[in-house]
Amino acid sequence: MSLYLCAMDCREGCDNEIDGVEVGSYEYFGEFRDCVCRYVEESQWGSRCPVLMRHSDCDGTFTPEDCKALMSELSLIYSVFSALPPDSSIAANQGREGHFSNLCDCFVDIDGVNLIQRLYGLCQCAVESGVSVYFQ
């Protein structure tokens, strides 16, 4: 099962997808959040990134207001992960090999694009469009 997040305009009775990110497996998203807890939050789940960490990983939405807060959290995560060495076991678990400069490089969407940057872009799109991000 794969986690897909999408910015969707559900106003006026239509479901118009504006942007989406195919994150990967729920297990992979769990590894990402585990690393956030360990390295960004000093093992205090939800202490510095409550929007990302306290939200269910399989249901619901991020409102435009949530997305604004999530963008700040993702910037913090990117900053911390960029300063840490890579964890090759994370990439290997996803069948990826190669040279990784830092922990950020270990997390990508299914298209191989940096996951943190893709999530940030999705949130930015949702905020600019005034729509929510849906878990699907």
Of 99 and 91, which is predicted with more confidence? 99
Give the separation between CA 67 and CA 26, rounded to whole angstroms: 20
Residue 13 has pLDDT above 70, yes or no: no
Give the separation between CA 52 and CA 44, rounded to whole angstroms: 13
pLDDT tens digits along 97-117: 667 889 999 999 999 899 999
Residue 81 has pLDDT above 90, yes or no: yes
Of 121 and 89, which is predicted with more confidence? 121
* φ, ψ of residue 38 in degrees (nearest 5): -65, -50
pLDDT tens digits along 26-79: 999 999 999 999 999 999 999 999 999 998 877 789 999 999 999 999 999 999
